[in-house]
Chains A and B, each alone.
Chain A
Amino acid sequence: MMTIAFTTFKEALRKKMLYLIGALSIIYILLFTLITRIYANDVNRGGMINVEQINNIASQLISITGFYFSSMLVALLTIMSSIGSISSEIENGTIHSIISKPIKRYEYILGKYIGLGIISTAYATLLFVLVIIIPKINGMPVSNLMDMPSIVKGWALFILEPLTILSLSIFGSSIFRTLTNGIMVVAIYILGLIGSMMEQIGSMIGNDNLYEFGIFSSLISPFDLIYRKMISLVFSDAVITNPMSGGFNAGATSPSIWMMVYIGVYLVGLLVWAVKRFRKRDIS
């Protein structure tokens, strides 16, 4: 299993796609640094905002913007690196010389998961740390709102999101062709973003239909829930969860512990399902 994991890891590192996402990440981090510096300069000059509470909210908004787009970049990397991890090896015949060796099929699936999981986790950790450190270096007040235990819990959830997406993508890749799986995973990811927004709007305006649609879509695509839980942990008094939400109260829609249990079942369940399907799959 670790042989597959190690080779998958090395292969993913050599893919051009990784460099593309790396370049995007650098641009993004530079922009984020620029925004925080401009903000910090304006606050210090006292020319923009000087009411303490608004100041906190504004700096929190910038920080949450950082987390939001970081989570999207991590999701992008995870999806791009994993949609063809198994299916493309079946399509081009590479798998023939692997599965015929003395390895169990579950080792192949879990090896792929571990290898790609390490890449996604490392990338997510890097972005998470940068999004925490950059505002701190620039002296933004948001840094004072985060304590270490919250940051650690937030980090755990920040890496849980790509690991859950990876589970879905590996499952799809063990059954579908690469293109089909890519469409499916992206569609489910977007469904989660839309559903999450519907749920929050429904909660805010008291519309049960919207709220239930949001909950239902979160069952299929719980990724944004993990992100929201992460934000609610890092910023205990967060008033928003993502920069697109326009100021909805996150506390009211923060995922329950049962939802987090569901996410654990979702992650493990998809992997187990992938293994069960793959064990009986003909590799032609």
Chain B
Amino acid sequence: MVIETNNITKFYGKKIGCKDISISVREGEIFGFLGPNGAGKSTFIKIMTGLLFATSGTAKILGKPLNDISVRKRIGFLPENFKYGEWMTGEDLLSFHASLYKLDKSIVNERIKEVLSLVKLTGHEKYKLGTYSKGMQQRLGLASALLPDPDLLFLDEPTSALDPIGRKDVRDIMTELKRRGKTILLNSHLLSEVEMVCDSVAIINKGSVVIQGNMEELLKGQEKLYIHAEDINEEIINTLKKIDENLVFENNRLSMKVNGKDDVHRAASIIVNGGGKLYELKTQGTNLESKFISLIEGGDKK
């Protein structure tokens, strides 16, 4: 495992920052870390990156304990609000961060060119950061995180200031890094984005992990099928109940849960073979957003 945490807990005085967070992130996967504002996501990432100290619990990153700073040479981190002095140029900033990473001087210039090209900022490196837009600053922050060609990347809201094209660019970068075997822990509010790129997710609420696992597994078995048909008789309904005994049929409209495409085909066949007239059929999978909302709202009601 690239990240393995065991009951990581952080208290700010009596206030809970995060509680008993135990997650495992495999090598080469993009792991989404989700939760509403104030859930404890940033607290957790700050513990992982050495900014905060856990009150209790243990963790290993790339096989090393949290207090081993040598491992940080292999970690990239884009903080939520990446900032640096407006007096610096983009190139100054990257040189500074390359020095902090203790990169070999012979490769620094080449590496800076590579990361600038990767985040599409080539040609802007001579300008002062004060002239950069928010999106450009975020791209530069990502470039800085990529400087050491990290094995593990922590991205805290990496696309919050980007336009749709910028977001796609960052998604593409993440996908490319994954292809190269890098591991990414992504903290994002943009659930559709997480759904698009993440292999696994953990959803956190009020400081604790509510659910975690493989993305496909989490969303599996949640598809809904909507049918508009006429001449639906009792026999058809009874046969369809073998797929979902809780199906609802009203005003020639039928809604039921299905497990995969085979069930969709079966339902359509049952209606047509039973003499029903099928006009419309559509499926709607449960997306991450609806799963997220149901989990968070469910947790809040408890």
Contacts and interface: CB of A to CB of B under 8 A. Distances in A.
A280 B51 contact: no
Interface in A73-114: 92-94, 96-104
Given A99-B51, A280-B53, A3 B100 contact: yes
Interface string B78-89: 111111110100
Size bin of chain A's contact surface: 20 to 34
Contacts, number: 71
Contacts of B69: 102-104
Contacts of A7: 96
Contact of A283 (B12, B51, B70, B72): B51
Interface residues of B, number: 32
Contacts of A92: 83
Contacts of B101: 101-102
Contacts of A101: 72, 97, 100-101
A282 interface: yes
B73 interface: yes
A45 interface: no
A173 B217 CA distance: 49
Contact of A100 (B50, B53, B81): B50
A89 to B, nearest CB: 9
Nearest to B71: A102
Contact of A3 (B51, B52, B75, B96): B96
A3 B96 CA distance: 7
Interface in A265-284: 280, 282-284
B56 interface: no
Contacts of B70: 102
Interface string B12-52: 10000000000000000000000000000001001001111
Interface centre among B79, B84, B97, B100 (most CB of A within 10 A): B100
B73 A96 contact: no
Given A11-B87, A97-B77, A97-B141, A282 B53 contact: yes
Contacts of A284: 12, 43, 46, 51-52
24 contacts: A3-B100, A11-B87, A93-B80, A94-B84, A94-B85, A96-B46, A96-B51, A96-B79, A96-B81, A97-B84, A97-B144, A99-B50, A100-B50, A100-B51, A100-B72, A101-B97, A101-B100, A102-B70, A102-B71, A102-B73, A102-B100, A102-B102, A282-B51, A283-B51
Interface of A: 3, 7, 11, 14, 92-94, 96-104, 280, 282-284
